[in-house]
Structures are given as structure tokens and as C-alpha cells.
Amino acid sequence: MLSVGQTHAAARTLTQADFDLFARLSGDDNPIHVDSDFAARTRFGRTVSHGMLLYALIRAELARLAPGAAQVEQRLVFPAPTYAGDPLTVELRVLELASDGREARITTQIMRGDGDLVCDGETTLRWGGV
């Protein structure tokens, strides 16, 4: 069972191959993610991760933190880019639990190795049916 203040963290490094595979699977082949020549001419200077690929990392860790819970809400912002090769840490923190224990509000963040926040959000998980 979860408790308020409980944390969970996991490390991951995404590669260009991950970006390419996610583009193929999702159909999001925006050149900012998969075309290094195009991306070199942007303000980023190189390819950047799909936001939803970052979300997928969060979702995987939520499943580890709270197996069997249904995710009923997620808010996300992407304040900084994520590049291939960036070491990332997914961080989850339980903020609030419903009095019946069937719902939890959790912060969801991803930090780059340099300390920059690249994904910031909050989610609601529910047990016992949505």
C-alpha cells in the first residue's frame, strides 16, 4: 500500500534508436525527433525526445509503484528538451491518498543528469474500478 511522502525513482538513458522506434510505433515522425539534419537547424541543434516517450517512462514506473492501479488523470509539461544519451531519472512522490485508500495523487517528474527538469506533472491513480 502507498503512503503519503513515499517516493520511487528509476534511471534510464534514451537513445536515437529509441526515438526512431517510438516514431515508427506511434506514427509521430516529426523530423525534430528523427532527422538529425533537420534538427541541427532548429533551436535545439539536434534531435529531441517525443514528449509521449517520456510519459511512457513515467507510466512504466507508476506500474511498478502501484501495480494494478488505473491511471485516471495525468498532467504534463516539458520545460526543457531531452536529447539522446541524456541520463534521466524518473521521480514519483505520493502527495495525497483518499481516505478510503482507493485513490492517490502523485507528482511525476523526469530530471536530466545535469539537474534540469525535462518533464513535470501530476497524476491520479485509482484502485477498484474507474
Query: Would you state the pLDDT for residue 101?
Result: 83
What domain count does the chain have?
Answer: 1
Mean pLDDT of 63-90: 97
Which long-range CB contacts under 8 A does 62-67 form with residues at least 24 apart? 62/92, 62/106, 62/108, 62/123, 62/125, 64/8, 64/10, 65/2, 65/8, 65/92, 65/106, 66/2, 66/104, 66/125, 66/127
pLDDT tens profile 85-111: 999 999 999 999 998 989 999 999 999
Domain that holds residue 88: 7-14+49-126
The CATH number assigned to the domain holding 78 equals 3.10.129.10
Q: Say if 115 falls within a structural domain.
A: yes
Q: Say if 78 falls within a structural domain.
A: yes
Query: Would you state the pLDDT for residue 129?
Result: 67
Query: What percentage of residues in the chain have a pLDDT greater than 70?
Result: 98
Q: Say if 79 falls within a structural domain.
A: yes
